[in-house]
Amino acid sequence: MDPIARAPGRGRRRWVWLLAVVLLAGVGYGLHATSATRQPAPAEPAAKPMGPAVPVSVATAREGDLPIYLTGLGSVAAFNTVSVKSRVDGQLITVAFQEGQFVHEGDLLAVIDPRPFEVQLTQAEGQMARDAALLKDAHINLARYRELLAKQLVSKQQVDDQAATAGQYEGAVKMDQGLIDNARLQLTYSHIIAPISGRVGLRMVDVGNMVHAADQGGLLVITQVQPVAVLFTLPEDNLPPILKKLQDGEHPPVEAYDRAGQNKIAAGTLLTVDNQIDQSTGTTRLKAIFPNDDNVLFPNQFVNARLLLDVRKGAVIVPLAGIQRGPQGTFVYMVKPDNTVDVRQVTLGPTSATDAAIEAGLSAGEVIVIEGVDKLRAGSTVQVRTPGGEASGSRPSA
């Protein structure tokens, strides 16, 4: 057969195959589109986890009264200190006290040899007796001269001379009385008595030594320790409310603590404030008085003084350790019921050594973090530690 005649048949078959391929491609695309519409959409990416729970210690805000204290360094000072000296010259023959003894005002402490003063007293009394006798005789003679003058048996000059003689003896008697009083006073001074009640220090002069009124050192020192004073300093900014209380007749309580500030030693009241401020330190001195009945305070002892300035009633109180500070001010980490934390801005009020009053931003019953805040941020999950140190999965109840 002629090749030219076979060409139209081959062309038709080629178009048939092309049409079949196109139809198959269309059917495949339709099936793929249908399956694509039926597939579920991919899930959204899960939220980034906040990390493991942070172990923390917490405390619950409470409502109560917060005492406001002012604390200053101080030292104990004897309320009165007396250096006992001899007021007469003589030999010390008796010491009637023991070192460290507590003596009362008027107790005998020492005796200076009284015999020289007894002799002086005897001499003064003898001279007084002689001059008193002469004065009596002068008065008798003056009375006689006046009777004779009335009878014009003596002159007026004689009467005046006798009156002058009587006046001289009157002066002598008064002088003698002064000598007697002085001798008795010296005799009294030879017995040294305690001028105040207090504790006796170490003896400075032993029996047998000569003592003089002009000696620089005394026989002993007495310190009054019941009551006793505590002198302490506070910044000048704290003075206005303290002075206001003193002017109103109030004497705020003052407590004395040991050097570490942990143990309370004694309790007293504020007595007064110094009349000037130390410009170099910006502080002023205050004086408190303590009964010291148990003798726990000793002169020159170092103490921490705490003055109770006021008591804030009905305040929201949290531990001071829970207060954090940042660029926006003070804040706390509050633990929510789902054991995550929220940053809560608070307004801080008065503080004590361990607690703080919250003026705004927190209510009583809310829980805050007091330990373990270093790794916290808003939304962090926390694991509450119990007081024994073990972790607990739930927050404490209010």
The answer to whether the Cα torsion of 174, 177, 179, 181 is positive or negative is negative
pTM above threshold 0.75: no
Question: What is the structure's pLDDT at 29?
Answer: 56
Give the residue from 308, 221, 326 showing the smallest Cα distance to 268: 308
Q: Which residue has the tokens 């002066």?
A: 171
Average pLDDT over residues 380-389: 72
Question: What is the structure's pLDDT at 302?
Answer: 95
Task: In whole angstroms, give the CA distance from residue 223 to residue 295.
Answer: 12
Q: Span 71-78+221-312: which CATH code?
A: 2.40.30.170
Cis peptide before 227 (omega within 30 of 0): yes
Question: What is the structure's pLDDT at 41?
Answer: 43
Give the residue from 249, 240, 258 showing the smallest Cα distance to 76: 258
> Mean pLDDT, the chain, as a whole number?
85
Task: In whole angstroms, give the CA distance from residue 22 to residue 16.
Answer: 10
Confidence of residue 395 (pLDDT cuts 50, 70, 90): low
Average pLDDT over residues 314-324: 90
Task: In whole angstroms, give the CA distance from residue 133 to residue 236.
Answer: 73
Helix (H) or strand (E) holding 179: helix 156-189
Q: Which residue has the tokens 């495949």?
A: 28
Select from 3.40.630.10, 3.40.50.300, 1.10.30.50, 1.10.287.470 the CATH code of 82-211: 1.10.287.470
User: Hey, where are the domains in the chain?
Assistant: 54-66+313-392, 71-78+221-312, 82-211
Contact predicate 304/73, CB 8 Å? yes
Question: What is the structure's pLDDT at 21?
Answer: 59
Q: At what angle do helices 115-150 and 156-189 cross, to 10 degrees?
A: 160
Q: What angle do CA 275, 278, 279 make, to 5 degrees?
A: 125
**CATH 2.40.420.20 is right for the domain spanning 54-66+313-392:** yes
Q: How many CA atoms lie within 13 A of 221 on its CB side?
A: 10
DSSP 295-347: ----TT-EEEEEEEEEEEEEEEEEEGGG-EEETTEEEEEEEPTTSBEEEEE-E
Contact predicate 212/100, CB 8 Å? no
Q: Which tens digit of pLDDT belongs to each residue from 203-259? A: 999 999 999 999 988 899 999 999 999 999 999 999 999 999 999 999 999 999 998
At residue 35, does pLDDT exceed 70? Answer: no
